């Protein structure tokens, strides 16, 4: 049951006591386990709290709809909180810590509302508040567990993708093929290098074909990774043939003046394989 009178009363109280509410909110924040004072600049936190309260009170004054933050009046506040949450992610706060920041205001409001009441009401309010805090924490536990589990899934999936994206194929005796697919960043380059060297060693290959048909961009960085792989293979006694270099890539490499040195390159996998077979002394001819 909502009554317009009670609502007005609360709003008036909030307007009168704004500074006290803000002070209480900050006090509550510093009481949390989060250790705000060490992780965020005091003046920055004060400014955040101040902005929030201003936007919050504005919204409450503007709209009659106090039951949903989706109301038009809350747009600015929502935007402020989204920005704030995003920066909390970067600053390394947990989802719970981020949410408890807002929940601390609730306690301050309770404090304000109960200030004028008699002793019995006050103690009832304080007990109610304790239960509410418990429920908030339980709610946060579900959010936190949900996020943790999803994060674990994402980590697992990226590991799988990383593994799947660098298979090694023994295409002939002592000739190993690595078809590279997708963007090559530093992490992937390390995985590729690892599987290349392991494959050469395990299969006793003397030629390794790196097919870059599926690599969208070869820039300075990627070229460096490829040269490292060539060097590594060389130390295990294997030559590397780069195949599937696109016309675009050939143009980029020459424009960027990237020197692939003595690396053997071929335009197509077919040409590369032919050259690899030549290197291992295999001669193929059609049946008569």
Partner 1 sequence: MDFAMMRLDDVLLAPVSAAMDDDDAEAFRHQVLTEIKRMEASGLVLDISGLPIIDSFLSRVISEIATAAGILGARCVVVGMRPAVALTLLQMQRPIAGVAHASSLVRGLEKLRAMLEEDA
Name the residues that contact partner 1, by CB under 8 A.
Answer: 193-194, 197-198, 200-201, 204-206, 228, 231-232, 234-238
Question: Which lies closer to partner 1 via its Cβ, residue 64 or residue 231?
Answer: 231
Three-state DSSP state, 150: helix
Reference 97, options 85, 82, 109; nearest CA is: 85
Are 214 and 180 spatial neighbours (Cβ–Cβ below 8 Å)? yes
Between CA 284 and CA 85 the distance in angstroms is 64
Spatial separation of the C-alpha atoms in residues 261 and 97, rounded to whole Å: 54
Rounded least distance, CB 211 to partner 1, Å? 21
Nearest approach, Cβ of 208 to partner 1 (angstroms)? 12
Separation between Cα atoms, residue 262 and residue 252, nearest integer Å: 18
Q: How far is the CB of 285 from partner 1 (least distance, A)?
A: 24
Contact 29, 45 (CB under 8 A): yes
Q: What's the closest the beta carbon of residue 173 comes to partner 1, in angstroms?
A: 13
The token duo for 196 is 């290349």
The widest CA-to-CA distance across the chain, in whole angstroms, is 109
Give the nearest distance from C-beta 225 to partner 1 in angstroms.
Answer: 10
Distance CA 235, CA 197 (A): 9
**CA 199 – CA 177 distance, rounded (Å):** 9
**Closer residue to partner 1, CB minimum distance, 176 or 177:** 176
182 or 237: CB nearest partner 1: 237
Residue closer to partner 1 by CB (options 29, 200) is: 200
Three-state DSSP class for residue 130: helix
Q: Which two tokens stand for residue 29?
A: 């924040």
Shortest Cβ 187–partner 1 spacing (Å): 14
Q: Which is nearer to partner 1, 14 or 222 (CB)?
A: 222
């Amino acid at each position: 049951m909502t009554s317009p009178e009670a609502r007005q009363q609360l709003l008036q109280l909030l307007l009168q006591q704004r500074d006290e509410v803000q002070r209480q909110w900050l006090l509550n924040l510093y009481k949390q386990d989060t250790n705000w004072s060490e992780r965020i600049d005091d003046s920055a936190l004060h400014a955040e709290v101040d902005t929030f309260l201003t936007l919050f009170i504005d919204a409450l004054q503007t709209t009659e709809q106090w039951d949903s933050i989706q109301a038009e009046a809350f747009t600015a506040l929502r935007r402020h909180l989204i920005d704030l949450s995003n920066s909390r992610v970067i600053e390394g706060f947990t989802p719970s810590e981020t949410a408890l920041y807002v929940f601390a205001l609730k306690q301050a409001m309770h404090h304000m509302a109960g200030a004028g009441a008699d002793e019995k009401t006050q103690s009832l309010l304080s007990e109610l508040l304790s239960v509410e805090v418990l429920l908030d924490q339980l709610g946060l536990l579900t959010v936190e567990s949900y996020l943790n589990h999803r994060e674990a899934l994402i980590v697992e999936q990226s590991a799988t993708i990383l593994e799947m994206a660098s298979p090694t194929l023994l295409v002939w005796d002592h000739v190993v093929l690595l078809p590279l697919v997708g963007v090559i960043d530093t992490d992937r380059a390390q995985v590729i290098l690892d599987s290349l060297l392991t494959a050469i060693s395990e299969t006793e290959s003397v030629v390794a074909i790196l097919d870059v048909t599926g690599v969208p961009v070869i820039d300075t960085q990627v070229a460096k990774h490829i040269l490292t792989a060539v060097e590594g293979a060389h130390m295990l006694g294997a030559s590397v043939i780069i195949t599937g270099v696109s016309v675009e890539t050939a143009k980029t490499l020459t424009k960027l003046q990237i020197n692939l040195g003595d690396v053997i390159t071929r335009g197509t996998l077919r040409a590369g394989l032919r050259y690899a077979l030549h290197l291992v002394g295999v001669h193929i001819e059609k049946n008569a």
